[in-house]
Structure 1
Amino acid sequence: MNRNFFFILLISFRLSRGAKILAIFPYQGKSHNIMFEPLSSGLAKAGHSVDLVSHFPPDEHVPGLNHISLKGTLHFYVNNMTATKALSMKSFVGVMNFISRDEPRDLCNLMRLPQLQNILNTTEKYDVMITEIFGTNCYLGFAHKLKLPVIGVISSAMYAWAYGPFFDTSNPSYIPSQLTEFGHRMNFFERVSNLMTHLGSVILFHYYDRTVSEPIVKKYIDDLPPLNDLYNDMSLVLVNSHTSIHGARLKSPAVIDVAGLHINETVDLPEDLESWMNSAKNGVIYFSLGTMIKPETIGSEKISAICECFAELEDYKVLWKGKMEEMPAGLPPNVKMIQWIPQYAVLRHPKVKVFVTHGGLMGTLEAIHAGVAIIGIPFFADQYFNIASYVDRGFAVKVNYENLDKSTLSNALTSVLTDPKYERNIRHYSKLFKDRPLSPMQEAIYWVNFIIRNGGNSLKPPVSHLYWFQYYMIDVILYLTIITILSLLAIFVIFRKLIRLSCLKNSPANKIKTS
């Protein structure tokens, strides 16, 4: 990268320094915050003043970052969801009912809190608002009240309902919905199912936004336009996606890929843990079900099967994220269980050979960045989609939770640990994932600065004034169809009259008359 490019980038940062940013992230899932907190801290370190509203106080003090805490106002989703609850959200209907019907009743009503009322009624001038695109648009009401351009953040790949405001390509013939378990090579019936999931999730999102979220927001904000209108007026979206793992596709300039933004390469392992990993003869297997699911709730039978499988891998050590005191049985001598683990620091350790995971995007992105092959046991939401994408690319093996036992896990581990194609493929995709002109954080900061400098409509295509039937040229197609049909009818009528005249002229009666 040449010096001129760095100089231009530095100037662009300087021109936007000192902006006042309102960042509202009301969802209480820790896995989402893993992306939002680094973004907010990064913007503060870039010279902005950031008011961050969330349930999770930042891990470090950053000058310019003011945290407005929602901690304790809602139930947390931090290692307290049972496996049964997670599995109940396997279908797209279950997911949409959870994130767009049930959760907004709590999330939107947080507006009653003094800390949020203070923001609504502030006389302080903000330059831009950043918020999550997820299950509800209710906090777009803040941007309307404060007259701010809005930048959305998506902690996963693009949702089916998130394409609309940015006129981005969402063709379900080759882009699998993240609420399916399809890879990028879908057969006919998978494409049928993908289309139904795509359309169904969009319909449910907008239906619940209108019938659940909007009435709640109207209690707190007067003269509120339809939330869908505010949604379609968004300026930019930062997406936790990248072409190396989610495929190349046509993109709107307002859709920015920043996958891996949360990865912190400066965190080191505790000395005792590093020493334990270094002592592994053949390597380390890392096992984690993420920040939401309680490992002990998968049941004693499956836990025993997992332990038996790990016990047979005597030359490997297994690092398992969980609470030892809550496990129903003792662990094999080669297994170490820890409640909190610096995950990326573990994954980039040279001894780690495979990551056994539920398939959450944050953790699997860390594994891809570190070049570690994956065994996925998905439970709900986008986890099936994530693992299917990795299986397609040849660096992961999927184990269905329903079929999880000693045999299926052993077979998966044997495949990944002994077949060199998994290591070869993950190294290839890790290289692709990291081959970018800017780091994900630099990319995000640049485009936030761009909106601050140039205004909210800078990247919007000139189609926002069109109705959907105009955008898809349905009115033009109908017009041309009608004109064509009328023209054909006119030609048919004229032709038929000419034939009749010709027939009359050549009829015997007409010939006698002429004689």
Structure 2
Amino acid sequence: MHHITWTALLLSVTLSVSYGGNVLVFPLDGSHWVNMKVIIEELHSRGHSITVVRASDSWYIKEESPHYSAITIPTAGGFDEEFFGTFVNRLLNIRKEQKFFWSRLILEFEVIEKFSEMHRQMCEMMTMMFQDDVLMKSLTDAKFDVVLTDPGTGGGVLLARRLNLPLVLNVRWTVHGEAHFAIAPSPLSYVPYPGAELTDKMTFSQRVQNMLTYAFGLFQIATIVTPHYTAFCKRFFGPEVDYFSLFQDADIWLMRNDFTFEFPRPTMPNVVYMSGFQCKPARPLPVDLEEFVQRSGEHGVIIMSLGTLFAELPSDITEEIAAAFAQLPQKVIWRHKGAKPSSLGNNTLLVDWMPQNDLLGHPKTKVFVAHGGTNGVQEAIYHGVPIAGLPLVFDQPDNLSRMERRGTAKVVDIAILDRAVFVEALRAVLYEPSYRENMQRLSRIHHDQPMKPLDRAIFWIEYVMRNGGAPHLRTQSFRMSWMAYHSIDVILTLLMALLLLLFIMFLAIKKCYSVLFKKKVKCE
């Protein structure tokens, strides 16, 4: 009897594991693909079938993979590696020469134009797909269970609407900016807008700054995003469809951060936090790298990487960084492209690529010199390694300012960096115990959770597949007008009713008073 019970249990578990869903993935290129790939590989390992939509000029997203099949659209995806490299160099030169206001303003408008072009190209790619009847029929016939997309561009959201499929977002940024602002109440009195580099405790002047940063964000959205997606939705879905409501109507938001990193703020039932999902325990290093690390002795190792987009810096900055490293007793592993700096010390190893997660998890790693991208910051938190920050662009200054407020990072302005300033920052993080202690405390908090973030993410993707969506978790607040959302109409109605009641009472009292007054006159 027990034998039959265990056999039935084993069979039921095997069947539940062997069930495979059909997932359509519409990713974003660059560093965003790095973390999307982690989810794709995990879904594949659990028996799901994955199809990835990619543009023919994709930079990171390969056409051939053992983990997914690809649908390649013969058009530009809008991701321009060369632009981002030259943009950073120009930005650093402007900051260095203190030609800040006008030069930075010109550059800011160039960035607006570039991102606008990226969204225009995305709409062109989606138009090409929607007009290809053969392709759209094949996507319909494939019977996908869910669309998984990064809403930094709108392609996946539009495709989910067209195919009438449940939608899961792998998200920190939407086309409108930070994801919480798209779906959750976000009072600017204590929720800092990304880019303002503020905390949840703001003075009056900081709240003014927060409001102005938010207003500039709205201007950017109206300029960069709205014209392209509004025109697209009007053409394919009709004038009554607001393009951003398609994003807000997603079933599950897999959020690439959590409250180890975020300041406390309102959230929503369909927001699932999976910060650090791409992190994993360190594996052994390649033999040559392990030997180099072990030669560091008691001093340990510093590792430096500026992410996927910004591996090459202006030569004068790299010379100062190399000279600073040469003054330290630690060994240094530096992911660097371009000419070898003449000031490079014997303690510094230049590499084209490094196993960043494995190095961060090595017991000899003392400091992570980083630009502050979300992936790198989360890996540093996961492994408890303090940061010397060199923020460049986008969300990086904001990410590192949060780490600095928590006492886990020392931030240096890379544009005016010299060897003395950089050495001082490195020594502070190396030798002041508070940086490591604070980061290890954050690491303990991050690890103290009931299930691994990647398992949580996969559970909710599979949940949507099993249940055909999650409409019971979706708020409908975004469908309300601004007046209805803030109950302005209710307040005005009640106020008018109160005023009307007071007016009637006033007339009644006035009438009573006049009647009494007349009686009094007659009696006299």
Q: Give your verdict on TM over 0.5.
A: yes
**Matches for 1:6-45 after TM superposition, within 5 Å:** 14=16, 17-25=19-27, 27-28=28-29, 30-45=30-45
1:410 equivalent to 2:423? Answer yes
Partner residue in 1 for 2:124: 109
The 1:217–1:501 alpha-carbon spacing in structure 2 relative to 1, beyond 3 Å, is closer
TM-superposed deviation, 1:108: 2.6
1:130 is paired with a residue of what secondary structure? strand
The 1:470–1:455 alpha-carbon spacing in structure 2 relative to 1, beyond 3 Å, is farther
- Which of 73, 77, 81 aligns to 2:81? It is 77
2:24 is paired with a residue of what secondary structure? strand
TM-superposed deviation, 1:153: 1.5
The residue type equivalent to 2:144 in the other structure is Y
Partner residue in 2 for 1:442: 455
Q: Which has the higher contact order (CA 8 A, sep 6+)?
A: 1
1:50 is paired with a residue of what secondary structure? strand
TM-superposed deviation, 1:499: 4.1
Partner residue in 1 for 2:278: 262
Q: Distance in 2 between matches of 1:58 and 1:264?
A: 23
Q: Distance in 2 between matches of 1:67 and 1:453?
A: 24
1:205 is paired with a residue of what secondary structure? helix
The 1:491–1:72 alpha-carbon spacing in structure 2 relative to 1, beyond 3 Å, is closer
Structure 1 residues 377-386 or 365-374, which shifts more? 377-386
The 1:164–1:182 alpha-carbon spacing in structure 2 relative to 1, beyond 3 Å, is closer
Partner residue in 1 for 2:150: 132
TM-superposed deviation, 1:267: 4.5
Q: Distance in 2 between matches of 1:306 and 1:492?
A: 79
Partner residue in 2 for 1:4: none
Q: Distance in 2 between matches of 1:151 and 1:85?
A: 37
Gaps of 5+ in 1: 1-6
Partner residue in 1 for 2:70: 67
The residue type equivalent to 2:330 in the other structure is Y
1:50 equivalent to 2:64? Answer no
Q: Distance in 2 between matches of 1:420 and 1:459?
A: 44
Q: Distance in 2 between matches of 1:293 and 1:196?
A: 29
1:319 is paired with a residue of what secondary structure? strand
1:243 is paired with a residue of what secondary structure? coil
TM-superposed deviation, 1:161: 5.9
Deviations 1:273-313 (A, max 9, x none): 1110111130111122211124332x41x333222221211
The residue type equivalent to 1:18 in the other structure is G
The residue type equivalent to 2:151 in the other structure is I
1:36 is paired with a residue of what secondary structure? helix
The 1:462–1:226 alpha-carbon spacing in structure 2 relative to 1, beyond 3 Å, is closer
The 1:360–1:459 alpha-carbon spacing in structure 2 relative to 1, beyond 3 Å, is same
Deviations 1:23-45 (A, max 9, x none): 101x33x2111111111111122
Q: Distance in 2 between matches of 1:435 and 1:311?
A: 38
Structure 1 residues 494-503 or 383-392, which shifts more? 494-503
The residue type equivalent to 2:171 in the other structure is I
TM-superposed deviation, 1:90: 8.4
TM-superposed deviation, 1:179: 2.4
The residue type equivalent to 1:275 in the other structure is E
Q: Indicate if the aligned counterparts of 1:238 and 1:258 stay in contact, CA closer than 8 A.
A: yes
Give aligned-pair identity as a percent.
Answer: 27
- Which of 248, 261, 266 aligns to 2:264? It is 248
Partner residue in 2 for 1:142: 159
Q: Indicate if the aligned counterparts of 1:289 and 1:321 stay in contact, CA closer than 8 A.
A: yes
- Which of 460, 482, 493 aligns to 2:507? It is 493
Q: Distance in 2 between matches of 1:296 and 1:233?
A: 41
The residue type equivalent to 1:459 in the other structure is L
Deviations 1:429-465 (A, max 9, x none): 0111111211111111111111112233131135465
Q: Indicate if the aligned counterparts of 1:130 and 1:151 stay in contact, CA closer than 8 A.
A: yes
Q: Distance in 1 between matches of 2:199 and 2:385?
A: 20
**Matches for 1:30-429 after TM superposition, within 5 Å:** 30-54=30-54, 55=58, 56-57=60-61, 61-62=65-66, 65-69=68-72, 73-74=76-77, 76-77=80-81, 80-85=85-90, 97=112, 101-111=116-126, 117=132, 119-122=135-138, 123-134=141-152, 136-155=153-172, 162-163=179-180, 166=183, 168-202=184-218, 204-205=220-221, 208-216=224-232, 221=236, 225-265=241-281, 267-281=283-297, 282-297=299-314, 299-300=315-316, 302-313=317-328, 315-323=329-337, 325-327=338-340, 329-429=342-442
Q: Distance in 1 between matches of 2:360 and 2:319?
A: 25
The 1:143–1:115 alpha-carbon spacing in structure 2 relative to 1, beyond 3 Å, is closer
TM-align CA RMSD = 3.4
Q: Distance in 2 between matches of 1:12 and 1:197?
A: 53
Q: Distance in 2 between matches of 1:95 and 1:267?
A: 42
TM-superposed deviation, 1:81: 4.5
The residue type equivalent to 1:407 in the other structure is A
Task: Give me the TM-score of the superposition, normalised by structure 1.
Answer: 0.85
Task: Give me the TM-score of the superposition, normalised by structure 2.
Answer: 0.84
Q: Distance in 1 between matches of 2:229 and 2:362?
A: 45
Q: Distance in 1 between matches of 2:114 and 2:283?
A: 32
Q: Distance in 2 between matches of 1:71 and 1:310?
A: 46
Q: Distance in 2 between matches of 1:90 and 1:241?
A: 30
Count of aligned pairs: 492
The 1:200–1:181 alpha-carbon spacing in structure 2 relative to 1, beyond 3 Å, is same
TM-superposed deviation, 1:238: 0.8
Deviations 1:349-387 (A, max 9, x none): 111111111111111111111110011121221111111
Q: Distance in 2 between matches of 1:49 and 1:218?
A: 33
Q: Distance in 2 between matches of 1:292 and 1:86?
A: 14
The 1:59–1:355 alpha-carbon spacing in structure 2 relative to 1, beyond 3 Å, is farther
Partner residue in 1 for 2:6: none
Q: Indicate if the aligned counterparts of 1:120 and 1:145 stay in contact, CA closer than 8 A.
A: no
The 1:121–1:207 alpha-carbon spacing in structure 2 relative to 1, beyond 3 Å, is farther
The 1:58–1:458 alpha-carbon spacing in structure 2 relative to 1, beyond 3 Å, is farther
Partner residue in 2 for 1:3: none
Partner residue in 2 for 1:459: 473
Deviations 1:153-194 (A, max 9, x none): 21469975634664x232222222222222333222222222
